[in-house]
Structure 1
Amino acid sequence: MQKELLHSNPAAVGEEIGQELGAKFVKDFQDAHPDEVQAYFIGRNIIEQMLAQPDCVGIRFYNALNEAGQKTLVYVGIDSKDNIIKEITSINQFGQLESKPGITADRVVPNDDAVTWSWY
């Protein structure tokens, strides 16, 4: 039932949970998994580029391992049908249709230093 509700409007997925509950969630995870990466930072520019793709209604984040074997996030734009945006079709400067790959991003800044990025 919940899956059906989420997929009927992907743009509506997610909600404000407040600082207190958010901090509790983070603390509970970090207490249970002290050796995990505690946070990632992603800059605004790549998020705006991803959301600017035609029909992009959200971003999906995947846990991944980078080339060095370190835990990271790979993130992709999601369309209104809840699919990964794999290709974008647009009109180039010559008035011709062209296709290019959808944005797939990484290069987050991981930080497992609780002193630097502590929230709670």
Structure 2
Amino acid sequence: MSTSSGPFSGPFSGPLTLELLALPKEVPVLRRTVREHLGGPCAEVQLCVSEIVGNVIRHVGEDTPVVVRISGMAGGRTRVEVTDPDARALPVLLRAGGDDERGRGLALMDAVSLRWGVRQEDGRKTVWCEVGRP
């Protein structure tokens, strides 16, 4: 996983950019890296990052190169972006039933984020969300 950051006005040191391969073993490392970067508890941000990268693993495939960006916004919000090279595999918000084993990830992200969406461009997509202060 490679990282970079730069200045911005926000609650933490600056934006975080991570380039990695979408693999299940990278998800806990990613959550830990995000928490360290944000300097404390950030369960909602960690959940959003985990769910978006988990969807890449499940629906695009393991070993898919992704770019994860975490940045501060006005009003203390945090923006999470995950870009992958498959513009066709779009996330779909499902309402999983009690016995369903899958389909809750985006519903969880939808519940904890202020808003979220997908941006498609040049053969890739970026799934993004904005999380308020804890």
TM-score (norm 1): 0.34
Structure of larger gyration radius: 1
TM-score (norm 2): 0.32
